[in-house]
A = this chain, B = another copy of it.
Amino acid sequence: MNSLTEENYLKALFNLSQENGEVSVNELSKHLQIKMPTVTSMMKKLSDKKLVNYESYKPLKLTEKGRREAGLVIRKHRLTEMFLVDKMGFGWEQVHEIAEQIEHIHSPEFFEKMDELLGYPKFDPHGSPIPDKTGKVEWIHYSKLSDCKAGDAVKLSAVTHSSDEFLKFLNTRELKLGTKIRIKSIEAFDGSMTISYGKHLSEHVSCLVCERLLVEKE
């Protein structure tokens, strides 16, 4: 049984290794806001538990076991977010912090029941895939809106950041998952875009925002 602290390290490793599979102590330290020596000593502990491959001065890698257990924590997190939004009426900007705590509840029955009540959802409210009961996750390759061309017609499928402020900003623009977007023009200088969707015929969004929106081409 992993402690709450261990679960948070595993989850962070999993999320950070999405890209290249390897993570540096420095990266992990910054992500968790925990100083490097503390991270080093936890890596030794997780290495003893066969959850992480750790060798001095080498990049960190989750083992198969570590990836599985991290996946199960992320499953609990995302199921919880979905439950909070769909069954309790929270907004997608309100759920991350609560899920950050509930993901550590030890009760298979509790999450099993959530899953059942939700009808076995495949994605969380931010469009992230929910790992299956074995901890495996199907990684879907969306494009960033910022990588699209003028004239493209796309569907907003996920967001890469779940901070309160960012999601509230999207709320004010009525941008939600499923929204069909057409790119009217791209400002070459700063990468900002003018887009149209629903009732919004001409909205201007900064590059920072475009990079956080994941879309599927229609």
Contacts and interface: CB of A to CB of B under 8 A. Distances in A.
Interface of A: 84, 87-90, 94, 97-98, 101-102, 105-107, 109-110, 113-114, 117
Nearest to A102: B105
B117 A107 contact: no
Contact of A107 (B87, B98, B109, B113): B98
Chain A contact surface mostly:
helix
A89 B113 CA distance: 8
A98 B88 contact: no
A113 B113 CA distance: 19
Contacts of A107: 97-98, 101
Contacts of A87: 87
A101 B106 contact: yes
Nearest to A104: B101
A86 to B, nearest CB: 12
Contacts of A110: 84, 98
Given A90-B109, A90-B113, A98-B110, 12 more contacts: A84-B110, A87-B87, A88-B113, A88-B114, A88-B117, A89-B117, A97-B107, A98-B107, A101-B105, A101-B106, A102-B102, A102-B105
Nearest to A87: B87
Contacts of A117: 88-89
A89 B109 CA distance: 11
A102 to B, nearest CB: 6
B109 A94 contact: yes
Contacts of A88: 113-114, 117
A102 B76 CA distance: 14
14 contacts: A84-B110, A87-B87, A89-B113, A89-B117, A90-B109, A90-B113, A94-B109, A97-B107, A98-B105, A98-B107, A98-B109, A98-B110, A101-B106, A101-B107
